[in-house]
Structure 1
């Protein structure tokens, strides 16, 4: 039985590192946390050298005092297992635990995450420190839960030590049993790559063309890394579940080459995430038209919600961020820290811990600012956090356990994500189309989920949604196509983009007309296809019979051929040598319909499809909102809360056609209302 994120109150807190500060500061820190309305703190995830200063010598007195004192101030403690930062004595004595790059360079001690998951010795030592910690704190009344490691697969998510090559070989032997099956799956007859002995098989290694391994080997590499990461985490989870059965177990992340759904199903009570909304602007907005900036972080939070409908934010951005040499994020403007906190809550968080209590004065993160500055004097971020604490102390019990309401889901799957890292003919398109659909939905104030399609996914899970958007699933199993067909036949609306359905589970192309496994669903074939990558002028699509209704046909074009009488052409290419050919089709199938969009989605095209479907905001009948305001709905058995978040610095003009009460202030609101810049309303 999995334990809930929060049971009696919304849990608001902060990450705290007692080993970084003189013990004389602890009590004042805890007192102020309690006065601010904080209920929970995280500690310990980087303290292995404190817990075990030399091999086999364990010292817990410092953390005993830190946890006891926190408990006296009513603060619950989340303890991290410290395996993300092995101490120097360990890496010096056992260098086989260190990670190795693709080029064969051993990564040395001096940062974090410099180990590999496969080393038997590292697994042994991680199990031992976890066991010692669980024995020490597994029944401590002040400890409520555990975080395994920290951000699995962050910083680096590929591993090439000798132990990894050995573990990969063993994983392949379990998967394929015989070399004949392996050779078949990897297509090794191509370029004479066939293996005649298991000793010849490795993870991808440098080749004459840099970073160009066998693509089927590369796909299996990602699957192996995920399974191997989960097996590493399982060692710790099993110990914690056995020795601390009353305390919950989680880990924080959402990083590459890790099936976080499978990990959570197997090991965790719930999933946790680290929410830094300014990452959207730093890493994703540079070349994007009309970006959502920090609001775009809601798409990541939707993906987290697909793992745990209610989740924990283990690190919530609370200040300007950055290491000494990267990620130079500006300071949140007044109100933005509160806005981002409610962004997490609006998307399903029942627990939020700010990172961090006080900005570090040493190390790589001296510019990753916390709530308190170096000087430890009052500042506006402390005041803002105090306001949040007071609000959630009053309303949090009403919110916890409620779930997001959404009638449309953006569909993803791990195989296509991992295959698409290497395959530029479909990989980059998924992320682009996800963002463009999210923008279209956000600006029409339509909440969405992200749904990860897995081998265990049931028809019941799909039929929760009126519309599924599955942009570019190049890899599609026949079983997946059959499940999607059942969804459509009973009335669902399914939307594909270009590059759909033409690969099997191995990443090999079907010897049948594109879109392969999805051909019957769509009622079309792909007559021809082409990249749009600078070698030709941009192409466009004309919708219906309106010459003026034109949108871009971005990045890649599938030229479609109608095969079934049930297919209606919704748009044709308006330029290039295939002008006039079908570009967008709708196939009526059973009680539902399947759309095929022959390009990479943009916001305008996504909006056109939503309009054709007649899909509107769930608040359309009672609320008028400007573009700058996000709408999310959390719903329980007898409660229904509409979150309104203004991402603009300027006030937003709303019109409420019905009376609603704001949960945060208790005030009745109706008619014209001005929502302050970076403001939040929770209406019911």
Structure 2
């Protein structure tokens, strides 16, 4: 069964923390929420000591009053298990529950997410609080669903407590069964790391030059993911023992966590926290930065798990932390734009973070809809406007984002690329370049994660797959990709493809390894572009005149054709020195499809040129002419009813051309001919 949120209409809500406010404010808060057309509140995820003020003594009176009052105001409730902030009584009595850093220093109480996921006592108490909450609230008429914990692996995504080292040994014994197999997988013969007893095995620890065994480090991330999923499943099972009626979700996509496996094992759908203003603090160096528009790539990753999902936290104000205000205030219209960005990419429910800015604590600079003073402001008016507009978009709920191009990714390469900075940054650069190029061509694109058990039909829905730098590429993955190409698919690889196996070791086979025959090439040489060198240009007949000088990126594979049917699309130019004239971009037929191999790291101009070569044009081209800084997203119902969202990310008006008559569901007006979109404006066309 598809893991997706199921609601009858697009739904708005807000995160609410009644424990932060005098009870006299609640009724007025709920009344104003309903006036803004907000229907859902999320509560409870940081309130363990209210539910269980001391070990074994449970009190529900406080949140009973909240739930009862919410129901009175026709608000539905998503109730969070409060395990992201374990109480002081727990960490004082059971210090073994605390997490530690790689140097073995134990974290102390004082923030959140300060515990580990493997300590038996912490798992026991977490399961118990989830169970007691479910037993108490599963029949409450306001309850709509459950959120497990909060942003798993957000504050920290590594765990080095004593219980983690012990659990890692058990995990390895189950995975490898014998020390001989472990030693082989970790290449332990190198530098005399061979283990002769399981008690000698730990998670990575400080070493000279801080250089851990790379194969151990990869397994460590797999272990952290599995232990986090086990912890979430512990809570989900405790809830479902009492409540099989209401949905279970959790929020966020964070490091060292296989969110696909997490969803399959524990959730009804994934939820996400959308903060596009983080783009203002990024180091994006493009001459034409994507900024908040790039957040759509994150939403594509969420959509790759649940086609229709919930935004559990949608940015509604400026952001900061503890002692600093880092992010600017959203400009008039931006909160509305970001809300529709989330909806356009597949969200059927959006909850704003938060109702009112906290007046104390770590998040006093992380603003919500309301300011400290609790008086009306422009953000309140903007949210109310969104609420009224969504009443006209009820038919959009249940529709799915439409794309026939996907950028491939996988957890092993992302995790390996954290330590291995030879390929990790290239993966991020190339994915960003392709996303930007396709966005500006108004070509919808998905994020597709390759993982064990992926079905061929999940791949075959796309006519083009882009797999920029799959350093770890197994024979099984290669087989699936060959089947995809054989059936008519087109697939694009970049440099550094296929030179590692599942353990992160380098097999003695020509690059690009398991897909060398699919690509019709081998890599005869390679080089990183040095600090005092210049990235070479590409010679690409007919393309240089259209797109200008194209640079090959910071790493170059020098290719040799191995299949007589393979052809050279572009070569390294004269400024490449000793490899000038060598193939840089090749094309190889495979069955009814084709594979492209690019020996460089993708830039937006190169991705744009290759998209042009492939004929990747907007599916809306016959109906709309759009400027580059307008995003076009398409959602469709199973019966074919289609909705087109146009989003203006510019702070000035933009003009579009509609070549056929459409209706804007937001305004109810007919759209035809020249139409001016306001700064940060949105159209939802049927």
Q: Do these two structures clear the TM 0.5 threshold for a shared fold by scoring above it?
A: yes
Cα deviation, 1:276-328, whole Å, max 9, x if unaligned, reads 0011231342x333210000000000000001000000000000011124571
Is this contact kept in 2: 1:559–1:583, CA < 8 A? yes
Aligned to 1:407: 404
Q: What is the aligned partner in structure 2 of residue 95 from structure 1?
A: 95
Distance 1:99 1:542, change over 3 A: same
Separation (CA, whole Å) in 1 of partners of 2:477 and 2:679: 45
| 1:415–1:475 contact (8 Å) kept in structure 2 | yes
Indicate conservation of the 8 Å contact 1:432/1:600, yes or no: yes
The residue aligned with 1:633 is: 634
- In structure 1, distance between residues paired with 2:9 and 2:614: 40
| 8 A Cα contact 1:459 1:487, kept in partner | yes
- Superposed counterparts of 1:366-381, under 5 Å: 366-381=364-379
From 428, 433, 442, give the equivalent of 1:431: 428
Q: State whether residues 433 and 471 of structure 1, in contact with CA within 8 Å, keep that contact through their aligned partners in structure 2.
A: yes
1:560 aligns to what SS in structure 2?
strand
Whole-angstrom CA distance in 2 between matches of 1:34 and 1:314: 18
Q: Distance in 1 between matches of 2:499 and 2:3?
A: 41
Structure 2 counterpart SS, 1:552: coil
Partner-residue secondary structure (3-state), 1:432: helix
> Matched residues in 2 for 1:8 and 1:300: separation?
25
Query: Per-residue displacement from partner, 1:519-578 (whole Å, max 9, x unpaired)?
Result: 001000001111124142222212136665530111110011111111110111112221
Q: How does 1:432-511 map to 2 (within 5 A)?
A: 432-511=429-508
What is the CA deviation profile of residues 485-538 of structure 1, one whole-angstrom value per residue up to 9, with x for unaligned ones?
Answer: 010011100000000011111111120110011100100000111112414222
Determine if the alignment matches structure 1 residue 669 to structure 2 residue 671. yes
Count residues in correspondence.
681
CA deviation vs aligned residue, 1:6-40 (integer Å, no higher than 9, x gap) = 42222201000000000000000000001110110
Q: Is the 8 A contact 1:566 1:589 kept in 2?
A: no
Structure 2 match to 1:581: 582
Map of 2:657 onto structure 1: 655
SS state of the match for residue 9, structure 2? coil
Residue 605 of structure 1 and its aligned partner are, at CA, apart by: 0.4
| Counterpart in the other structure of 1:180 | 180
Q: Does 1:340 align with 2:341?
A: no
For residues 8 and 641 of structure 1, the distance between their equivalents in structure 2, rounded to whole angstroms, comes to: 16
1:53-452 aligned at under 5 Å gives the runs 53-210=53-210, 212-285=211-284, 287-325=285-323, 328-395=326-393, 397-452=394-449
- 1:197-252 CA-to-partner distances (Å, cap 9, x unmatched) read 00000000000112x11000000000000000000001100111221111100000
Query: Cα distance 1:181–1:543, how it changes in 2: closer, same or farther (>3 A)?
Result: same
Residue equivalent to 2:16 = 16
Evaluate the alpha carbon distance shift between residue 546 and residue 232 of structure 1 in structure 2; reply closer, same or farther with a 3 A threshold: closer
CA distance in 2, matches of 1:200, 1:27: 59
CA contact (8 A) 1:543 1:550 kept: no
SS state of the match for residue 682, structure 1?
strand
Query: What SS is found at the alignment partner of 1:353?
Result: strand
Equivalent position SS for 1:209: helix
Alignment check: 8 A CA contact 2:128 2:238 kept = no
CA distance in 1: counterparts of 2:423 and 2:566, whole angstroms: 25
> What is the root-mean-square deviation in Å for CA atoms of aligned residues?
1.2
- 2:27 is matched with 27
Offset of 1:455 from its aligned partner?
1.4
Q: Which runs of 5+ in 2 are unaligned?
A: none
Offset at residue 637 of structure 1 (A): 2.4
SS at match of 1:553: coil
Q: 1:478 to 1:661 in 2, by over 3 A?
A: same
Work out whether residues 76 and 143 of structure 2, in 8 Å CA contact, stay in contact via their aligned partners in 1: yes
Partner of 1:595, secondary structure, is: strand
Check whether the contact 2:5–2:306 (CA below 8 A) recurs between aligned residues.
no
Contact residue 6 and residue 351 of structure 1 kept, 8 A: no
Assess if the C-alpha contact under 8 Å between 1:282 and 1:327 holds in 2. Answer: no
TM-score, normalisation: structure 1: 0.98
Corresponding position of 2:644: 642
Aligned residue for 1:610? 611
In structure 1, distance between residues paired with 2:391 and 2:56: 43
Distance 1:480 1:114 in 2: 37
Distance in 2 (alpha carbons) for counterparts of 1:348 and 1:242: 31
Report the Cα offset of residue 176 of structure 1: 0.1
